[in-house]
Structure 1
Amino acid sequence: MAENTTPTDKDAPLRDDIRLLGRLLGDTVRDQQGEASFELIERIRQTSVRFRRYDDLDARRELEGILDALAREQTIQVVRAFSYFSHLANIAEDQHHIRRSRAHLLAGSAPREGSLAHALDKAARALGDAAPDELAGFFDDAFVSPVLTAHPTEVQRKSILNCQTVIARLLDERDRMRLTPEEQEANDAALRRAVLTLWQTRMLRPARLSVIDEVNNGLSYFDTTFLRELPRLYASVEDRLGAANGELPAFLQVGSWIGGDRDGNPFVTAEVLERALALQAAAALGFYLDELHALGSQLSLAVGLVDVSDALQALAERSVDHSPHRSDEPYRRAIAGMHARLAATWTTLLGNAPPRPPVAAAEAYAGPAELAADLETIHRSLVANGSAALARGRLRHLRRAVKVFGFHLAPIDLRQNADVHERVVAELLATAGGVADYRALDETARVELLLGELASPRPLASPHMRYSDETESELAIFRAARAAHLRFGPGVIQNCIISKTDDVSDLLELAVLLKEAGLLRPRENALDVNVVPLFETIEDLRNAPGVMDRLFALEPYRALLAARGQLQEVMLGYSDSNKDGGFLTSGWELYKAEIGLAEVFARHGVRLRLFHGRGGSVGRGGGPSYQAILAQPGGAVQGQIRLTEQGEVIAAKYGNPEVGRRNLEVLVAATLEATLLAGEAAAPDPAFLDTMQVLSDTAFAAYRGLVYETPGFEDYFWQSTVISEIAELNIGSRPASRKKGTRIEDLRAIPWVFSWSQCRLMLPGWYGFGSAVKAWLTTHPDDGLARLQHMNREWSFFASLLSNMDMVLSKTDLAIAARYAELVRDTALRDAIFERVRKEWQDTVDAQLAITGQQELLDGNPLLKRSIRNRFPYLDPLNHVQVELLRRHRESHDDERIRLGIHISINGIAAGLRNSG
């Protein structure tokens, strides 16, 4: 399975890696499946490359003929081979990005856009003499947090990811080291073994993933990337800023929803939350124990050769380590004592013995601050006594890790739907005898009643009453959160998010439930977590500023907000707003909501932190994070930002430590630039805003007209995509729909977008834009195009929108999508809808090229264009085979091998597209 491209010289190593991995995969197929299977797969590959590269229609007909004639077992072998090649190509591309980054650094090139070095240099130039103070102020107040979420587009098993990690490490070794012939031979053999292991590792899960499985998957990225790369990133920023700034606060943290996100997931219970928190704590404490052990082996400094501080000497004397062999090694004794205390902390918090036993029993640490203080004692002693260099390695990174990750590793957010909170509060009120039918009250009456409950320290729930299963479950979650605060500290759970927020009472209902668990204490005006509204639909986004305005006008809530430092977080939903109103309108309404929220918060003197609920695909708010953050309206960032990292994007961004470090840098760099350097660009030309509103109105009508107002569209969607099969696939703990049935309104946004990606139509990422531009040009024939071109040049929001759409359109393939459309049984319905989609696609492409001035899609992004050129010949056979398998599966539901082939093809196509969910 060789790869033939004509890259520039700098891309030659990428070509070599793809050829190497393709050859190893081909050899593996030949050895494992036989020469005939290898020859078949190679013929398919060569024919697909000929068709895709040279637009050879004879090759296309030949390819279709080969694939249509495949027997069942041949089909599965072909799907496996091309799926694994997509995975291997991803590894090669990631390694090439690392290679190119290193080449820039080795050549002494100027820092690249998106790096922290570039952002800091840019700030220094723009701010002049004020730069040191401005940067210090930024980092003092900044908060940047990617939040890992488990969603059913993460189709990779951890075992597959482990195999890929081994292959990436071996490629990296070949790239960085000059290997001897013997070392080269060993590397070749190891690569061959790794590819064989990948081929023989089951790609799919035999059973649906549990929430705890998802927790463990998420923890693997802490072990691989976050625990080590975050401290190094902090150190890099501190060194670049200089000693005058000292140690930075913990402004960059990783959060998680895994184990706390209950919205539509009945499997997230109080017991699951408690277990997730324990697993996280074990990961953090285990890392610290290992690092202390290694640090002790390194700091073998002896009395008589080095002086130590009185504090360090006292720490050594308090140690439980009394070995005569270390009597003159105070640092080792001190660290052994710290290790023993941390081991006792493990037992206290987790109830069992740690993996590495201590030298003796010791008192547990009361919290991470005590451990941090002991590490600080070691640091100060080293610095004061001529050993500062020893304080800058492992010790420095461990000190930072303890301050960032604490004993809880990452804060877990709680999330639930507003309707659930409403039902629980209604039951509590009715049972307590206060209000017989809370849900019948209007908004004004609800707010008045809820404020009264918040003012009273009296709980509503009684331990002597039996409530509905839903109410019992919700109360148990909040009580578990309170217990976690007492056990691990307040950093363990910091946010409670309300899905489908549409008015003030939704926030107050959550506040009442927090009061029931002791997380809100009226007499102290104490609120232990952030109450976070999530505005998701188009209507909710439009109402968001008004809801927050009314909320801030309530004095009791403002008093509670004071306990949170007058900072209010608001989450914005990209996925549901897109499914509700389409790509263009979703983006525009999000932008307007941010402007409105910034104005409301400024008027009330409340600090705004936006939490962006972005997915991996453009249809769910995805796309490059750097451009997305810089495209935010003025006043929307304010040094504070959280954003979700979802599905397969987590593996793509953080599965490799160096790639993960780069992605973390991008988030900080963009937040810094958007906060300190927005300048005049923060206020776009009013004419741009007017134009966007007109475009949005037309696009909204076009999208709603197709998806929600066309009779039979629901049937078209379910029959022409893999949505039914995705619902069966064991790729997540969460059901595909919020309710039973096939209504698009009830379908989760994630499988909605994922399904359109699989059939290569990508409809949620572009539909409606062509109609909008066409109508605009009709009503503005003289200057309409010039206006749009000007917006693309001068307005980062519009440019980012077009850039994301450029990527989606380039991954769309109408010829392949047409084959999926043939699965629709109603011929008239199929032809009518697909022709409508085809016309809108052409209008959208025409508009995109006219506005950007490109001759072809992705002219402005040669790296992605190259990537697509390399990988699409391997995706086309997967799509073709998937269509045929779907046809066979829907004719005969009892063939497990056909179902297996479909599920493997879903995995392979997702890997090839990389940001499909």
Structure 2
Amino acid sequence: MKLSQKQAVFENEVLTRFDLFKSLFLTLPFQRVKHTGTLLPFFTTHCEQGVEKNSTPEAIIDSFFQQYEQYIQDEDRVDLLFRIVQYIERQVVLFDAIEDSSFQSVGKSDEIGGLNSLFRLAQNDGKLKKQLVEKLRDFSVRLVLTAHPTQFYPGPVLGIINDLIEAIKANDISNIHLLLQQLGKTPFIKQQRPTPVDEAISLAWYLENVFYKVTSGIQSKIDDELEVPSEDVKQLIELGFWPGGDRDGNPNVTVESTKKVAGMLRTILFRCYYRDFRVVKRRITFKGVESYLENLQEIFYTNSFHTVDNPTDDTTEILKNLHAIREVLHSLHNGLFVELVEDLIRKVNTFGCYFTTLDIRQDSSVLRQTMDYLVQEHGEEVGVELNQLTRDEERKQRALRFTENDLAYQEDAEPLVKDTIGVIRLLKDIQRSGGERAAQRFIISNCQQASDILGLMQLFLWEGWETDKLFVDFVPLFETVDDLSRAAAVMRTLYSNPHYAAHLKRRGNKQTIMLGFSDSTKDGGYLMANWSIYNAKVELTALAREYGVDLVFFDGRGGPPARGGGKTQRFYASMGTEIENKHIQLTIQGQTISSQYGSLDTAQYNIEQLLHAGLISEIKQNQGDTLTEKQKQIIEDMAEASHTKFLSLRNHPLFLTYLEALSPLKALSSINISSRPVKRNSDKDLRLEDLRAISFVTSWSQLKQNIPGFFGVGTALQWAEENNLWSYVRNLYENSGFFNTLIDNCMMSMTKSNFSITSYMKDDPTFGEFWNILHDEYTKTKNYLLKLSGATVLMENYPVERASILEREKIVLPLLIIQHYAIRILRAGDLSAEQEEVYRKLIGRTIYGVVNAGRNLA
């Protein structure tokens, strides 16, 4: 399909239908202020015209009220702004539903390809088919749902969206109208801040309604197309889960919440199994299977609807009965309805008795604090002195003897110490009820030295775990630019440590290393962050191959390109020979969960994209994907130039002041979106190192400046041109999948930027100079990106995505004007306490719609 044809389909299937269905909003039940639905189009146009004139938000909104004063009483003005926000929030939902309903016809054919294209190649190439089958023996994709719920739709709204998608597919106008009315009366905003368990319940909606169904279908598709015996293929699609387990900087995650989430996941899974089993039981009414069905009935029903004390892992027993039923069907009943049994077998093989692996994460400083406490309390018993842990790294490692014990804590111990010890002990119970895969990873944030890992391993042995039965993987997380540069040295020390090497051998000689994009971007800027991670992967891969370790990279990716999002699958398809890519593991979070995995169609497509990327990257690599030494040096020098430019911005005295004063950063801490605080050390003054990357990136995106996604890239490209290296950079863009994706994702960030909204700031006496620094780099980057790509507009090669982004930006423009208006009114002061609270609430409400519309902004 040509580009113009794809655009035509999108305009017809999405944009035209959106314009038609928007008329239904005129009858939505928001009538506290009359004429809201009628005034909204005029307000949108007024905002667009005001932005074109570089007007301030106050001038735009005040002039609108003056122009339509016959419809709006003075006392109704702020209330009208709230109603407009409600309308636009629901317009975003309508646009999402229309776009998702058109997924099959519009598609994403400008991406790298899916499994079908790979299967077609394999049908005509016996060698390729054999390679694929061999690769599938030890390959997997793990998607980890994280505790960053920047997708703000609660469960009831998600249900309406899915019903709306089906109604739009059927062009059922009457039902669409009813669903929009239901949407109008359904709250988008939670009255209370969610707990970690609430977050887990919210994300479990996707497990139950999407992933449970899709993963089995994809596995079946691969089995059928490649004719691979099921026993020859390990679990291809794995799921991970952070809500309830990720306690890094979140004091609301406790041992009790972790326990509740693990139990909740098990119960939801068994209810899914029970629904499927009822279909099996209804169809398979033949002789020879009665006892097996009775056994399964007892297991599924009891675990679904009764509280089971000390549940155990029933996976083996379930599979034993299902295999027996399958055998009877084949031998006595001509395989009738055997596909129902095989589908359930695939699901049980994938999800066991746990549904998704619950990861535990904690910061290294908390783990050190716990180690110090236990040594202080039980030093003589374990033969370690506290001063040994405060010396240099080498002596600290020698002090760890990896002895087994069962150490307790006193009631006056710090809460984080109690929690760390408690969750280490709890992991045994979770594994007992769900098997090893239920909870087998402990991730160490801010990992800076080998003793961070070795110390955690010692903590497990001091808390009742036995060396030979330590079924836990210790996963270091390297994120800042400095930590990434030291990662290989840390891992070499670990691989050389006899105790850790023995543990690794018992774990199948497989080491998982997590690399985080979020804090690395906040620390070093877009280009340096991506290059630091790429370099670290090359070094860590070489080291793992030297030691014979099976290396797994777990990428901590957020939604936007600034946090490792964007065209993720293209990165995995272009790793080259120097980076281990046997397994793909990544976090999915925020709006990325709903936009890419919110429906059966989109989830299947995006999972298949990742599978295709991982399979093809090793079997049919492009020559340009493995960078030459010259290319590496050029990117290294460009990253340094970009880093220097970014640091000059970070070190500017107005950097945080600008963000606090003009963005809704402060409001993020007061709205009920997450159980996690906006920043670490929340009781202290704001420091950049304490500010969470998700809050950092979200604040810039609400300003429509997206600094973390491009700043410094233009300077780097200018440096290359001035040093006569432009032809090399052009060659990189044309031939290196890594560099091409890096640049294309930067273009996506910039397409979602709009400096015109804040152009009134250029002459501001306080922030004007700073705003111009940001705008100048934006303009420079845009010009160089267009020159590099040979395009006339950003994202020219992705016309459907570009059209979608521009329409979404148009929808939320009024929200941004309202948000910036409220922020400036608060800054001006002279408000009563009641008025201040109203405007703060208005700011918070606008954040929801902007983030939801952006789909990968936070």
TM-score w.r.t. length of structure 1: 0.87
Correspondence for 2:91 among 85, 88, 103: 85
Q: Cα distance, 1:420 vs. partner?
A: 0.6
Q: Does 1:441 align with 2:391?
A: yes
Q: Cα distance, 1:145 vs. partner?
A: 0.3
Q: Is the 8 A contact 2:625 2:737 kept in 1?
A: no
1:56–1:474: structure 2 CA closer, same or farther, 3 Å change rule?
closer
SS in 2 for 1:44: helix
1:499 alignment partner in structure 2: 445
2:326 alignment partner in structure 1: 379
Q: Does 1:512 align with 2:458?
A: yes
- Structure 2 counterpart of 1:441, one-letter code: R
SS in 2 for 1:641: strand
Q: Is the 8 A contact 2:7 2:799 kept in 1?
A: no
1:152-551 maps to which residues of 2 (within 5 A)? 152-174=149-171, 187-242=172-227, 248-301=233-286, 303=287, 313=288, 316=290, 319=291, 334-346=292-304, 350-351=308-309, 367-392=314-339, 394-433=340-379, 434-450=384-400, 452=401, 454=402, 456-459=403-406, 461-462=407-408, 467-519=413-465, 521-522=466-467, 524=468, 526-551=469-494
Q: Is the 8 A contact 2:190 2:672 kept in 1?
A: yes
1:431–1:382: structure 2 CA closer, same or farther, 3 Å change rule?
same
1:787 alignment partner in structure 2: 728
Q: Is the 8 A contact 1:123 1:673 kept in 2?
A: no
State the Cα deviation string for residues 873-911 of structure 1 (Å, max 9, x = none): 222211111111112334335334323322221111112
Query: Equivalents in 1 of 2:438, 2:312: separation in Å?
Result: 17
Q: Does 1:631 align with 2:574?
A: yes
SS in 2 for 1:894: helix
2:506 alignment partner in structure 1: 563
Query: Equivalents in 1 of 2:354, 2:754: separation in Å?
Result: 46
1:527–1:244: structure 2 CA closer, same or farther, 3 Å change rule?
closer
Stretches of structure 2 that go unaligned for 5 or more consecutive residues are 67-71
Query: Equivalents in 1 of 2:251, 2:770: separation in Å?
Result: 36
Q: Cα distance, 1:122 vs. partner?
A: 4.2
Correspondence for 2:705 among 758, 761, 764: 761
State the Cα deviation string for residues 708-754 of structure 1 (Å, max 9, x = none): x2123221111121100111111000001011321111100000000
Q: Does 1:867 align with 2:852?
A: no
Q: Is the 8 A contact 1:577 1:586 kept in 2?
A: yes
- Structure 1 counterpart of 2:437, one-letter code: G
Q: Cα distance, 1:350 vs. partner?
A: 3.4
- Structure 1 counterpart of 2:506, one-letter code: A
2:685 alignment partner in structure 1: 741
SS in 2 for 1:684: coil
Q: Does 1:147 align with 2:89?
A: no
Query: Equivalents in 2 of 1:50, 1:382: separation in Å?
Result: 70
Q: Is the 8 A contact 1:119 1:672 kept in 2?
A: no
1:857–1:875: structure 2 CA closer, same or farther, 3 Å change rule?
same
2:594 alignment partner in structure 1: 651
1:816-855 maps to which residues of 2 (within 5 A)? 816-818=757-759, 827-855=764-792
SS in 1 for 2:784: helix
1:246–1:681: structure 2 CA closer, same or farther, 3 Å change rule?
farther
Q: Cα distance, 1:633 vs. partner?
A: 4.3
State the Cα deviation string for residues 806-832 of structure 1 (Å, max 9, x = none): 11111111111335789xxxx544012
Query: Equivalents in 1 of 2:499, 2:55: separation in Å?
Result: 73
Task: Kindly report the root-mean-square deviation, in angstroms, between the aligned alpha carbons of the 2 structures.
Answer: 2.7
Q: Cα distance, 1:61 vs. partner?
A: 12
Query: Equivalents in 1 of 2:695, 2:55: separation in Å?
Result: 35
Q: Is the 8 A contact 1:415 1:499 kept in 2?
A: yes
1:74–1:245: structure 2 CA closer, same or farther, 3 Å change rule?
closer
- Structure 2 counterpart of 1:387, one-letter code: N
Query: Equivalents in 2 of 1:6, 1:614: separation in Å?
Result: 29
SS in 1 for 2:558: coil
1:73–1:6: structure 2 CA closer, same or farther, 3 Å change rule?
farther
Query: Equivalents in 2 of 1:819, 1:906: separation in Å?
Result: 21
1:688–1:482: structure 2 CA closer, same or farther, 3 Å change rule?
same
Q: Is the 8 A contact 1:98 1:659 kept in 2?
A: no
Correspondence for 1:910 among 828, 842, 851: 851
Q: Cα distance, 1:539 vs. partner?
A: 0.3
Q: Does 1:15 align with 2:24?
A: no
Q: Is the 8 A contact 1:342 1:365 kept in 2?
A: no
Q: Is the 8 A contact 2:101 2:166 kept in 1?
A: no
Q: Does 1:752 align with 2:696?
A: yes
Correspondence for 2:642 among 689, 699, 708: 699
Query: Equivalents in 2 of 1:251, 1:448: separation in Å?
Result: 40
2:663 alignment partner in structure 1: 721
Q: Does 1:137 align with 2:134?
A: yes
1:204–1:685: structure 2 CA closer, same or farther, 3 Å change rule?
same
1:36–1:540: structure 2 CA closer, same or farther, 3 Å change rule?
same
1:51–1:385: structure 2 CA closer, same or farther, 3 Å change rule?
farther
1:10–1:697: structure 2 CA closer, same or farther, 3 Å change rule?
closer
Q: Does 1:27 align with 2:33?
A: no
1:858 alignment partner in structure 2: 795
Q: Cα distance, 1:836 vs. partner?
A: 0.8
Report the count of equivalent residues. Answer: 835
Q: Is the 8 A contact 1:205 1:730 kept in 2?
A: yes
Q: Is the 8 A contact 1:144 1:642 kept in 2?
A: yes
SS in 2 for 1:437: helix
Query: Equivalents in 2 of 1:137, 1:243: separation in Å?
Result: 10
Q: Cα distance, 1:188 vs. partner?
A: 2.4
State the Cα deviation string for residues 490-531 of structure 1 (Å, max 9, x = none): 111011100001111010011012213344x23x3x431110
- Identity across the alignment (%): 23
Q: Does 1:798 align with 2:739?
A: yes
Query: Equivalents in 2 of 1:442, 1:646: separation in Å?
Result: 38
Q: Cα distance, 1:561 vs. partner?
A: 0.5
Correspondence for 2:106 among 91, 100, 103: 100
SS in 2 for 1:268: coil
State the Cα deviation string for residues 33-63 of structure 1 (Å, max 9, x = none): 57632321121234557789xx799999996
Q: Is the 8 A contact 1:123 1:677 kept in 2?
A: no
State the Cα deviation string for residues 259-278 of structure 1 (Å, max 9, x = none): 10010011111111110001
1:325 alignment partner in structure 2: none
Query: Equivalents in 2 of 1:837, 1:616: separation in Å?
Result: 22
- Structure 2 counterpart of 1:442, one-letter code: D
Q: Cα distance, 1:648 vs. partner?
A: 1.7
Stretches of structure 1 that go unaligned for 5 or more consecutive residues are 105-110, 175-186, 304-312, 320-333, 353-363
SS in 2 for 1:728: coil
Q: Is the 8 A contact 1:610 1:636 kept in 2?
A: no
Q: Is the 8 A contact 1:878 1:908 kept in 2?
A: yes
Q: Is the 8 A contact 1:250 1:404 kept in 2?
A: yes
Q: Is the 8 A contact 1:113 1:119 kept in 2?
A: no
Q: Cα distance, 1:300 vs. partner?
A: 2.7
Q: Cα distance, 1:448 vs. partner?
A: 0.6
Q: Cα distance, 1:413 vs. partner?
A: 0.5
- Structure 1 counterpart of 2:376, one-letter code: A
- Structure 2 counterpart of 1:458, one-letter code: N
1:10–1:346: structure 2 CA closer, same or farther, 3 Å change rule?
closer
- Structure 2 counterpart of 1:477, one-letter code: V
Q: Cα distance, 1:675 vs. partner?
A: 2.8
